[in-house]
Structure 1
Amino acid sequence: MCHAKNHRKLQSHRCYLDYTVKFCDNHNGGFEMTTFGERLKQRRLELKITQARLAELLSVSRSAISNWEVGRNYPDLDILVSLSEILQMSIDQLLKEEPEMVEEMGKEQRLNRKRKIALRIIVPAFIAVLGLSLYLLYHNTETVNQTISPDQSTVLTVSQHASARWHTASWNGSSLIRPSLLKSSYVLTNDDGSQGDIEIRLVNLNGKTVQAPFILKAGKSHKVILTNRNQQFKLQFKARSGQYIINLQ
């Protein structure tokens, strides 16, 4: 005779199911507990669900269902929740007396928590690095252009009454010359089409001369070496009235 809480007779053999643990008469006067796989299979058969149909409901392969039922491996926690809903059994009922499976689920939960913590650290760090890179790229656009575009020209027009004064030249809308790690020297050329010689000097942002003035004849070039990479400079010129073309390389 078999005893079980909330027992139900199953087919023709002497077994009873209480939806928590199934006890079967082993013909030796004792009872043995079923495994998770056996409980899964028994409940699936009770509900007349095939392995193929259960696999379809869980979006897994049919072989996965077979492996669970023979105890080869276990479903993960998310699938176990769906499985309990389909079989109309609680997770506790499915896992009763399965310490190995409970331990595996615990490991999976701990691993998922570690992954979430890692993502919370990595994602903000990635966003911060990306933002910093975009910021630096934006603020160094002009310097990059000066490096990539080797030849920049500006046309200088000097009126007769302004020939005795210093004037500030500009390239691409800016009068600043910025040294960089890639470029610390420039070549100034007074184009052949200029109407005479030009006197040139370099000053810092305070207007202080950092390189002595020099004369640049038409058709000639002069190399300027910027020793202070952390400082910005302006190029100033003085010439007789006329039109001048200066190339900056």
Structure 2
Amino acid sequence: MLYWLMKYFILGPLLRLIFRPQVEGLHYVPDTGPVILASNHLSFSDSIFTPLMVKRKVTFVAKAEYFTGKGIKGWLTKMFFVGTGTIPVDRSGGRAARAALDTQLKVLRAGGIAGIYPEGTRSPDGRLYRGKTGVARLALESGAPVVPVVMLNADEIQPPGQLIPNIKRVKIRFGAPLDFSRYAGMAGDRFVERAVTDEIMYELMELSGREYVDMYAQKVKNQQAAAEAVKEPVAA
């Protein structure tokens, strides 16, 4: 109930008025049945604008820490994620990725829409990075089509680390559904899962026009953090 209140009566109308979303290809999202929305990830606001544009409920997963914050800020953050249909997942430990996958599989098996960021984290510089194979496993285990969707300028609206977004028209583009039924029964085959993932990432590259980097975004972030740590002066 909170999801629909936020989408149609509280947050949704306000965001549409301020950011005037420009959307292409929305007709590619089917009206019924399970579907995976695979998106590039430029900004915190991606998980706001994509569900806002799709008339059906879109379910993303997010780290559980977003739901356990203290004080007013913690409560507001929790209410925001609950209101946007996000499901908390404990990302600590070796089974974190599987927990997120199982959560999304439940959504798909119930005929819903699962939203996923194949890169696994926000892009550190706006480029498109190598996809993790979780999106392929999700597609192969569920049999659901994959609709690629790209945020074209979310990093200009809310760059990483910026709390207050810039007022600018949001641009989103959806692509034609990708059917991977030819790989039915091959979930778990790492070569097949890599091929499926790379096909999805190629479509995201084509739709977005962003440069593709054949490295994991998190690895790049770790390298940047290590470089910054070296630059920091050592206290006397």
Give the TM-score taking structure 2 as reference length: 0.22
Higher relative contact order structure (alpha carbons within 8 Å, sequence separation ≥ 6): 2
More helix by share: 2
Scaled by the length of structure 1, the TM-score of the pair is 0.21
Which structure has the larger Rg?
Answer: 1
